[in-house]
Amino acid sequence: MQHLFLMEFFGRGQSGRSYAVTERVRVFKALQKNVRLVTFDYNPQYNDIWQAVAPDLEATHLNMMAYYQGDAIAGGVRVERLHDHQQVTVVDRVFNQSDRLVGEIYYGLDNKTVSRRVAILYNADGSDRIRLLYQQNKVAQVHFWQAGQLQVMSFTALVRQFLQEITAQEPSIIYADVLEEEMTQAYLGVSNAVAKVAYIHADHHVGQHQILVGFRNLLRSRQFDWIVTGTHNQAIDVQTEWQCRTADIAPASINVPQSVTALADRRAMSVVVVTRFDRIKRVEDMIAAVVQAHQQNRDINLQLYGTITDQAYYTQLQKQVTDAHASNYITFNGATTDAVATFQTGQLTVFTSRTEGFGRTLLEALAAGTPVVSYDIDYGPRALIGKGGKLVSDGRVDLLANALVMGLADRHWREQASEAARQQATQYDAPHITARWADLIAELEHCDENNAD
């Protein structure tokens, strides 16, 4: 039995989805399952990306484009990028290890943004294998050569054909981590699979009227055997709204240290945050809340750590701090490679995301024994924090500020919340997550036994 995790693409930057699928591959490997991550876009550097992200998980990645090119790219590729006189990317030329040209990607400008126009994949003899024609950086049409015959099809049709081929090779269970509507349609068209599972992230399902189109079609189809969610309350909501079988399994596990730095040994009156500087995180609300809290207690300070995914937004946040004359107590400290250790430098953390796929940083804060003050949003904070922090009404910066002031003033509450946070985090350690997957896998593989009967 092969277990196939389907994603449109896999990101080098370890987005939440990419991180989650890597963790799932690792769990399935530990359970001695034949598991593969399956991607579909044309990225000649996928081998390097996968090796950088998951060097311990070799031979577990299958890309559709590499599958169809076969021997032409055996042994790996290198990319030669050509620019015009203004240093705008014009073409990527892809060579295999024998320095034979095996692919080209041509670019153009759309509103000053570099976008793909055409991607050509060659066979080992130099003939065309696939041509991808793009509009607004998405594949609009595919030219596919099979046994010398040209077929013109949609990208959805190519994905469906590819999945039909690989699921026909041996019994397969597919797990769809899908955002794009076209990919949903492709997955639904696969008839060979023993079972189909879809993973819905929490911020992609907040009631029927807010669900993403791809997920809405996925749920309406009733063609998936199981829907996996990150939290129990979301699983209940999906099951109630769509009358489908659900399982709640956290997208990632957490290592809870045996001991953490005592609150008394951490920086006094310090709120420490590890985040991604992206507008969905509403860091501006964190800053505004600490500015208000600082008016009541001049010792309160905010230490911000994280990666920058939106430079304009990051610049806006810096200006917000400067305009509030808060630079002496609100500090941008750059990225951290150890979130759990970083959280152990503060008394509290604050969480203000607009929506949350699950909230790995929440788990890292809880594992560090750092109480969380958060907006009450579905599904992460409400499901994860428990007695390890405080929830306030979504969008109420004044309540957030008051909770910070009260929490930092109450040592007894912080100590209790710190202990409760660590207990809460243990529910999401590796043994718990592995056991949940093992139970679901047993049910899914039982489907194959029933079909055989």
Residues 213-256: pLDDT tens digits? 667 777 777 888 999 988 888 888 888 888 889 999 988 788 89
Residues 122-179: pLDDT tens digits? 999 999 999 999 998 889 999 999 888 999 999 999 999 999 999 999 999 999 887 6
**What's the CATH number for 74-153?**
2.40.128
Local confidence band at 450 (pLDDT 50, 70, 90 cut-offs): low
Range(s) within the chain of domains with CATH label 2.40.128:
74-153
| Residues across the chain | 453
pTM: predicted TM-score of the whole model, two decimal places: 0.81
- How high is the pLDDT of residue 357? 62
Residues 68-94: pLDDT tens digits? 999 898 778 889 999 888 778 899 999
Fold of 1-69+156-253+429-453: Rossmann fold (3.40.50)
- How high is the pLDDT of residue 142? 97
Range(s) within the chain of domains with CATH label 3.40.50.2000:
1-69+156-253+429-453, 263-428
| CATH number 3.40.50.2000 given to 263-428 | yes
C-alpha distances (whole Å) from 40 to each of 8, 59, 181 are 6, 16, 14
Residues 101-129: pLDDT tens digits? 999 999 998 777 889 999 999 999 999 99
The rounded distance, in Å, linking the Cα atoms of 4 and 6 is 6
C-alpha distances (whole Å) from 449 to each of 33, 47, 171 are 16, 35, 11
Residue 116's nearest CA partner among 126, 108, 124 is 108
Compute how many other C-beta atoms are within 10 angstroms of the C-beta atom of residue 181.
Answer: 16
